[in-house]
Structure 1
Amino acid sequence: TYKGQRAMTRFEAAALLNACLDRVTEVTDELKRLMAEFEKELAVLKGRVDGLEAKVGELEASQFSTTTKLRGEASMILGGMPDFESPLRASDGTRPANPNEVTFNYDVRLSFDTSFTGKDLLRTRLRAGNFESLPFRSGVFTLDKAAGTDDSVEIDRLFYRFPVGEGFNITVGALVRNTEMLSFIPSAYKSDILDYFGLAGASGTYNKATGAGVGVSWRQQVEKGSPYLTFDTNYVSSNGFADSTIGAFTEESGISALSQLGYRGKNWGIALGYRYGSQNSSLRDANFSSTVPDGGDTNSLSIAGYWGPVDSGWIPSISLGYGYNWASRLDDSQSWMAGLQWSDVGWAGNAAGFAVGQPPFTGGSDNTMLYEIFYRFQVTDNISITPALFYADEPRSNSFNDAWGGVIQTTFRF
């Protein structure tokens, strides 16, 4: 790189000469003099290049694949909910089942990302975890990382994404999630703790339906740094993808058809979303009757947006979202959230945040307010520790009694 009037080292001069040698056709006396002058440096450079080529050869011979990268995430979560009062009964039916003790669970995800052209993506993801249903895998305190596979390893993603034309991408897969086929989720709040606060205040629209599906995404082609439009539409069959008695294209299969129109800038974004759900689809919140019954369907509409400061400081990012759900054979419901998140709190890489909202509520007894506060220590580039506290007033999943809880989540990424 040209550095103006900065002095050049002998090794830099030798590298420059070495690059020229491949292009000269006549060996002049001046060239011979330069080669003699930098004879030692040229020998050192050649040795370094030969050594590098040898190491690259060893890596190519021993690597897992020339087209596939392994990405992993392992989370260990220490958490509990004091005075939890589950509306469920124990298996013997004689006493309440109150999972209110402190537990130490794990959630592991291994993604094999394969690209054949450099622009496409074949993702195969393995996942395992040992969470029980309550209190952290269902109900109002469902965690984002709370797999319950009874220690078995399962395939939970299998899809292929590829570009078609300019600005278009198509995704198709036997196990794909509707929210992962969107250009972006319109929220800057990223605690990775409570599942609800990762859904832009609209769990009816962004219901994380996972199954057999296909999606199309379009992004406006603009100059780098300029705001751009996005449009996404996708179809997911949650229940019928593996059952030949139901199929992936029937009302009984739990269809979720999601579309989003978004506009995004460098540090802000806004989106309007809509989802149609057939019977057996989910509104993704146990505080409300979350599964559409037989013969019913649901429509969910949302608007959400976020803004964040360009530089970290005392001003947090702001995320706001609202959703409305109207359905046959179900009461209409609405939801919302507001989140604040600060970056580089204490030192670079750390983050803190606070969120408040209401999961889908009908205006009757299901009128829960939900709160979350967290602080994420970025110990290294690969390790983070996140203590968090959360509170809900009178959630259904705690027999309509106030509930609170907390976790310490340690996540390793590689």
Structure 2
Amino acid sequence: MKLFQQLLVAPAALGLLAPLAVDANRSANAAELNINGVSDYAATGEQVTSISQFSDVYPTDWAYQALSNLIERYGCVAGYPNGTYRGNRAMTRYEAAALLNACLDRITEVTDELKRLMKEFEKELAILKGRVDGLEARVGELEATQFSTTTKLKGKTTFVMGATTAGGNNGYKYYGTKLRDKTAFDKKGKKGGADAYNRNYGAFTFNYDQRLVFDTSFTGKDKLRVRLRTGNFTKGLNAFSGSGVNLAALDVATDSGVAGSNRIANNVKLDRLYYKFPIGKEFTAFVGAEARNTEALAIWPSVYNKGGAKILDWTALMGTSGVYNKETGQLIGAYWKQKVKKGENAWSVSANYVADSGNGNSSNAREGGFMTDNSEASFLAQLGYGGSRWGAAFAYRYGQCDSGNGLRRGTEFAKNNSWNNNCVFENANGVDKRQDSSSNSYALNAYWQPEEAGWIPSVSLGWALNTVSADNLVEETPTESQSWMVGLKWDDVFLKGNDMGFAVGQPTFATSLKNCTKASKKAGTCNETPFDGNYVFEWYYNFQVTDNIAITPAVFYLSRPMGQYTSNLAKNGGGYDGQFNVFGGLVQTTFKF
């Protein structure tokens, strides 16, 4: 008998022979051949289909499961005419032979059917075998070449080719305090305006951003992230890094140049290092030596860039950059998120503290430290409620003086930190003194998206209010500012996987100024009413070439990026009819691996 048949017969034989060992007395009687009993058993031929047909077999019997398997799998067990099995009766060799023969007949039928099926699907089985062998070889190769069993490597390469151009007036005239109002584009400081901007920042450029991310998990639920980054968007030289006007900065722009030699790029820097781990089922904690406040949140209350592309830094921050200012440094934080089914709306609460990079790791108590008055830190808190279709969040950020990125993006007038939220000011004696200054920012963001892609786009909204206070604010200082944005995104435009986005809004602009003195009013050197209005427009089309390659043409327009400083460009040399705008166009290509 072949091995395969032996394996099939084994349970049958054990089930049949089990009654032989019931007890010694009954075994002794097995020697007495009962010809009539054998004849009765062999003559019945009444095969049963369920063990419940035996009136004398109960679930508590020790061989109940073995007998049930023989009936259900092989159908080779017969009973006596009166519907009994008589499991406690001694079994003769003739009875065993009869039952074994019946089971072997059934096993033969099964094996014949298997042979027929194997022959019929011989080609398919050969293909499957080849695939399994190939998979085994590939798994073996991966195991031999993997650098870690706990770490995954992800990469993202971005190429940006494009340029900006300015339009408007060319004249430039100072008035008031030069430190406050000097926003010329001419490096010699003699002339400003559109021509000066185009001369210094109007060339066509080819830039890149490269990121390598190492994600390590020790439990399957935690994550240790290490990110290396490099790029050649050199600050002070490249328009897309925010040089000239900060609102032209792209989300991917990074400058990895060495301090003191800003023309030398291509240096690799560690720009993320944090550990994220769960506490229970609904809490998550963050600890980072180099981490960002916007990445330590339970939800991101916008879908404008989700699945699409990120172009301008300001639109990528939902138009509320005063709150979500990408403060990066030494971070501690946590969030709670309600446990619900995937896609359903859930409540969440997030909070984190970030000491500005360069301060939180300094031991000089007068200039740095972690959680000190000189940490130049940001505290961000967010209350959110959202799911896959819609959601909303209210957020608050407190910033210490000189808190890193501060309001991050806005008009040159509203964002000028040299007067806005500076820790150090020059007193009447010409001596630098440290002052107590801070900013408070509030944001409301919401989003909605349709169930299916079509003509109706997703909608993302954002509005923010910022206030600034300090011991010594100069005249005409913006003490209050606002911003707002509307982002529309269409999914699967022309082809499945391609997205189109359009955004419009007003980046941070001054809405209230510190009161002027009577003397400055009379001299005409201070204005109580802000003239800081401006608009940003952005359009992009994200063409998904493959799962790993995307090409995104984009254009943007900044109507008045200098804000109130634009008045300095007025032809009459002091009015508010100056004109200055910036138009940008680019092609962004992204490779992911």
Q: TM-score range by the shorter chain?
A: 0.7 to 0.9
> Offset of 1:47 from its aligned partner?
6.3
> Offset of 1:46 from its aligned partner?
5.9
Q: C-alpha offsets along residues 15-70 of structure 1, whole Å, 9 cap, x if unaligned? A: xxx9xx99997387426545545566578766654553343122111112111111
Three-state SS of the structure 1 residue aligned to 2:240 is coil
> Offset of 1:318 from its aligned partner?
0.7
1:67 alignment partner, one of 134, 146, 150: 150
TM-score normalized with structure 2 length: 0.62
Cα pair distance change 1:158/1:43, threshold 3 Å: same
Alpha-carbon distance in 2 for matches of 1:215, 1:22? 61
Question: Does 2:271 correspond to 1:184?
Answer: no
Alpha-carbon distance in 1 for matches of 2:469, 2:201? 34
> Offset of 1:120 from its aligned partner?
0.8
Q: Describe how 1:361-376 pairs up with structure 2 within 5 A.
A: 361-363=509-511, 364-376=530-542
The question of whether the paired residues in 1 share the 8 Å contact of 2:329 and 2:355 is answered with yes
The question of whether the paired residues in 1 share the 8 Å contact of 2:274 and 2:288 is answered with yes
Q: Describe how 1:323-362 pairs up with structure 2 within 5 A.
A: 323-329=464-470, 331-362=479-510
Cα pair distance change 1:318/1:62, threshold 3 Å: same
2:455 alignment partner, one of 283, 298, 314: 314
Residue 7 of structure 1 is matched in structure 2 by none
1:225 alignment partner, one of 343, 367, 370: 343
The question of whether the paired residues in 1 share the 8 Å contact of 2:531 and 2:563 is answered with no
Residue 184 of structure 2 is matched in structure 1 by 87
Question: Does 2:238 correspond to 1:112?
Answer: no
Q: Describe how 1:138-287 pairs up with structure 2 within 5 A.
A: 138=242, 139-149=246-256, 150-190=265-305, 191-239=309-357, 240-245=359-364, 246-281=368-403, 282-285=406-409, 287=411
Alpha-carbon distance in 1 for matches of 2:453, 2:255? 37
Residue 443 of structure 2 is matched in structure 1 by 302
Moved more, 318-327 or 218-227: 218-227
> Offset of 1:289 from its aligned partner?
2.5
Percent identity between matched residues is 46
Cα pair distance change 1:50/1:237, threshold 3 Å: same
Q: C-alpha offsets along residues 149-194 of structure 1, whole Å, 9 cap, x if unaligned? A: 1110101001010111111111111011100011222111114000
Three-state SS of the structure 2 residue aligned to 1:362 is strand
Alpha-carbon distance in 2 for matches of 1:387, 1:23? 67
**Cα RMSD after superposing both structures:** 2.6
> Offset of 1:241 from its aligned partner?
2.7
Three-state SS of the structure 2 residue aligned to 1:234 is strand
Gap regions ≥5 residues in structure 1: 1-17
Moved more, 330-339 or 28-37: 28-37
TM-score normalized with structure 1 length: 0.88
Three-state SS of the structure 1 residue aligned to 2:452 is coil
Cα pair distance change 1:312/1:43, threshold 3 Å: closer
Alpha-carbon distance in 2 for matches of 1:169, 1:22? 53
Structure 2 counterpart of 1:392, one-letter code: L
Alpha-carbon distance in 2 for matches of 1:78, 1:398? 31
Displacement over 6 Å in runs of 4+: 21-25, 92-95
Question: Does 2:525 correspond to 1:406?
Answer: no
Structure 2 counterpart of 1:155, one-letter code: L
Larger radius of gyration: 2
Question: Does 2:289 correspond to 1:289?
Answer: no
Gap regions ≥5 residues in structure 2: 13-102, 171-182, 257-264, 424-435, 471-477, 512-529, 567-579
Residue 60 of structure 2 is matched in structure 1 by none
Alpha-carbon distance in 1 for matches of 2:408, 2:8? 64
Alpha-carbon distance in 1 for matches of 2:356, 2:138? 47
Moved more, 221-230 or 275-284: 221-230
Cα pair distance change 1:80/1:44, threshold 3 Å: closer
Three-state SS of the structure 2 residue aligned to 1:389 is strand
Cα pair distance change 1:206/1:33, threshold 3 Å: same
The question of whether the paired residues in 2 share the 8 Å contact of 1:185 and 1:200 is answered with no
Q: C-alpha offsets along residues 278-334 of structure 1, whole Å, 9 cap, x if unaligned? A: 111111125222542112111111101010111000000111110001111352111
Residue 545 of structure 2 is matched in structure 1 by 379
Structure 1 counterpart of 2:585, one-letter code: G
Cα pair distance change 1:37/1:145, threshold 3 Å: same
Alpha-carbon distance in 1 for matches of 2:247, 2:318? 15
The question of whether the paired residues in 2 share the 8 Å contact of 1:258 and 1:274 is answered with yes
> Offset of 1:248 from its aligned partner?
2.0
Indicate the structure with greater helix content.
Answer: 2
Three-state SS of the structure 1 residue aligned to 2:496 is coil
> Offset of 1:126 from its aligned partner?
0.7
Cα pair distance change 1:176/1:25, threshold 3 Å: farther
The question of whether the paired residues in 1 share the 8 Å contact of 2:229 and 2:269 is answered with yes
The question of whether the paired residues in 2 share the 8 Å contact of 1:201 and 1:337 is answered with yes
Alpha-carbon distance in 2 for matches of 1:25, 1:93? 98
Cα pair distance change 1:284/1:23, threshold 3 Å: farther
